[in-house]
Chain A
Amino acid sequence: MLDTPIVHFDNVVKKFGSFTAVEKADFQIARGEFLAIMGSSGCGKTTTLRMLAGLEDPTEGNILLDGEKINGKPTWERDTPMVWQSLALFPFLTVQENVEFSLKMRKVPKGQRRERARKWLDRLGILEFADRNISQLSGGQRQRVALARSLVTEPKILLLDEPLSALDAHLKVRMQSVLSGLQKDLGITFVYVTHSMSEAFSMADRVVIMSRGKIEQIGTPEEIYREPRNRFVADFLGSSNVFDGSLKSSGNEVWQIETEHSSFTLKAPSEVQKTDGSPVAFAVSSENMSLAAIGTPWAGNSIEATVVGGEFAGASATVFLETDQGQELKVQKGHDELKTVDIRAGQKLLVHWLPEHCHVLPGE
């Protein structure tokens, strides 16, 4: 029982009329895992979470919770507490009464209810506000009430729908560490929906990337970052340059890729099989590209491009360039490295990178 996944989405489809909000979602969530579902607004994240909570019925496929099929089971018969984006705290109850609510529904005796609610309020550092009205609390305090209210029944899984989106940046980061700390201490499964990459990547064990109802990639933050599966993910991460071409020769060690710019060499990927002549797309992280003056001798891959502009934030800068063929490139470097080249707009530069820094997109 312990090694069955706590959640199994078995080819789940959700349609609203003729509109497909979630397309063939097929994945599992391990016990005690922190899983983030990430994607831009309207891609079906909330719908996926709501199906797990029992607030929406799948059109096709099955959802298994703890190995048991739960399709059609109303939300009040499931143990899948959720934290709403709007928090959905009851304004007509005090903080304490909010936290006691689900215990009351489970017919826990009054004294015990009170004790357990106070324990969780204390754990989240808001015990002093127990008798207050919700409207008297700050955003961060309300957040903690919502968490206490969902955790007070000590569930095996907690669903969170963009719970931090209303908080300012500072508070957001603080709540992120509260959340990851709680999840580690309690050892329960978190399913966390967010449109923010930094939230997903800083907290989650694994991330599901969705776009337009489809799951584009599932993996650990590191896997996704190092090996984006397709162009969408590479673009979404925002720090990769994607090249299209066709496979000219596939040796054991290196591949030669013919593109509209020139021919590039890359390290043969072990997990991707392609025949010569078939189309190939590969990504190069903007951090792995370097800039040099035209004419500098360079072994590896290189391409000429014109500087369009730059973005300077903190310790590093991003230089935006465009090739003669019109492809946009991004190069991210520390200020020291950029001192040696002239990066004024209109300047033509050599962009270069090593074969081992090319990542073939297997999903393209």
Chain B
Amino acid sequence: MNTRPSLFSLTFSLPLLIWQLAFFLFPLAFLVALSFWTVRNFQMQPNFDTVNWVKIYSRSVFWDAYFRTLLLASFSAALISLAAFPASYAISFKLGENAKRWMIFVLIIPFFTSYLVRVYSLQVFLSDAGILNAFLGYLGLGPYSMLNNSFGTLTGYATLCLPLVILLQVFSLNFVNRDLVEAAHNMRCGRLRTVLEVIIPSAKAGLVIAGLFAFILSFGDFVSPLYLGGGNPPTLSIMITDITKSGQQWPRAAVVALTMIATLLTVAFAAIKFAYREAGK
């Protein structure tokens, strides 16, 4: 295949390229430079000093936050993907064309309201004297602590990611060739087994990418870990704000931010490579 870009395709992709340069690559380059600056008397000075990298990477608080964030985001991606799948499967395979369209519309509605507002309203549900505990108390259970812990954080991640993950899963399941499903049934593969042996492998790329989105959004999220998770112990995004607040340490915040970006790039690259891996040689 000829991969040399034509003038035609270049004309259309040029605005995107410029956008990427202006709002991603230049700031990134600046961030890299910034991470080598130093701060003296609350003033940043251009410099080339590895002190920020050494300081941040030698602190166990940083590594604790790093692995906690990684773990929370991985859990979030896995749990949300698992929770979304039955719903996506039902929408794609069991609903008629009309009902399917309505469900897709319903899944877009959550994006109409601000994520911050949704997270605030969740506090009303999850707090110790909140709606959920009142309801559980009525049944003679609880009270359970659901706010200011990982449960709260993950609930917030789910409000952020679940509708998007279901949408992405539905679109990838819609592309599964129905003949393959029937062929599997025809070869003695029952319904549940067909989901595992045929539908999931067929939709693999889309399902992995849906999970990747959940990971990316959760990994960088600041709102849920702060307002539902309590902010302590911090995740990386909370740590960034903490660092900048204490003595104008923007260069050190840049180190944390760059570490996050490197992690996301690695995970995204690995996920996409896995998503599109083919059988055989």
Contact = CB atoms under 8 A, between A and B. Distances in A.
Contact of B279 (A53, A86, A97): A97
Interface of A: 53-55, 74-76, 80-82, 84, 86, 88, 90-95, 97, 101-102, 105-106, 131-133, 135-136, 149
Given A93-B279, A95-B280, A132-B281, A86 B186 contact: no
Contacts of B189: 76, 101, 105
B186 A81 contact: yes
Contacts of A76: 185-190
B186 A82 contact: yes
A90 B201 CA distance: 9
Contacts of B182: 55, 75, 84, 88
Contact of B177 (A88, A97, A101): A88
Interface residues of B, number: 22
A84 B280 contact: no
B183 interface: yes
Nearest to B178: A88
A81 B279 contact: no
A239 to B, nearest CB: 36
A90 B198 contact: yes
A86 B179 CA distance: 8
CB-CB nearest 10 A-B residue pairs: A94-B280, A102-B187, A88-B183, A105-B188, A88-B179, A133-B280, A92-B201, A75-B185, A76-B188, A94-B279
Given A86-B177, A135-B278, A92 B185 contact: no
A82 B182 CA distance: 10
A268 B278 CA distance: 68
Interface in B164-216: 177, 179-180, 182-190, 193, 197-198, 201-202, 204
Nearest to A106: B188
9 contacts: A55-B186, A75-B185, A76-B186, A92-B201, A92-B202, A97-B279, A101-B189, A133-B281, A149-B187
Contacts of B201: 90, 92-93
Contacts of B278: 91-92, 133, 135
B187 A84 contact: no
Contacts of A94: 279-280
Max count, chain A CB within 10 A of own CB: residue among B193, B201, B280: B280
A80 B186 contact: yes
Given A84-B183, A88-B182, A92-B202, A102 B280 contact: no
A97 B198 CA distance: 12
Contact of B188 (A55, A102, A131): A102
Given A55-B185, A106-B188, A131 B280 contact: yes
Nearest to B187: A102
A131 B281 contact: yes
A102 to B, nearest CB: 4
Contacts of A82: 183, 186
A101 B202 contact: no
Interface in B236-253: none
B188 A90 contact: no
B280 A132 contact: yes
B103 to A, nearest CB: 24
Contacts of A106: 188
Given A75-B186, A86-B179, A132-B281, 20 more contacts: A75-B185, A76-B186, A81-B187, A84-B179, A84-B182, A90-B183, A90-B202, A91-B202, A92-B201, A92-B279, A93-B201, A93-B279, A101-B184, A102-B187, A105-B189, A106-B188, A131-B281, A133-B278, A133-B280, A149-B187
A241 to B, nearest CB: 42
B280 A105 contact: no
Nearest to B203: A92
Interface in B97-122: none
B205 to A, nearest CB: 10
A131 to B, nearest CB: 5
A135 B280 CA distance: 10
A82 B180 CA distance: 12
A223 to B, nearest CB: 32
Contacts of B202: 90-92
Nearest to A77: B188
Nearest to B205: A92
A318 B197 CA distance: 55
Nearest to A146: B183
Nearest to A149: B187
Contacts of A93: 201, 279-280
A53 B278 CA distance: 31
A28 to B, nearest CB: 23
A96 to B, nearest CB: 8
Max count, chain A CB within 10 A of own CB: residue among B187, B193, B197: B187
Given A92-B201, A95-B280, A133-B281, A105 B186 contact: no
B177 to A, nearest CB: 7
A258 to B, nearest CB: 55
Max count, chain B CB within 10 A of own CB: residue among A54, A81, A101, A106: A101
B279 A133 contact: yes
A88 B281 CA distance: 20
A135 B278 CA distance: 10
A93 B274 CA distance: 15
Given A84-B179, A88-B180, A90-B201, A53 B186 contact: yes
A117 to B, nearest CB: 13
A131 B281 CA distance: 6
A55 B278 CA distance: 29
A102 B202 CA distance: 18
A75 B194 CA distance: 13
Nearest to B202: A92
A90 B198 CA distance: 8
Contact of A105 (B177, B187, B204, B279): B187
Nearest to B180: A88
B180 to A, nearest CB: 5
Nearest to B188: A105
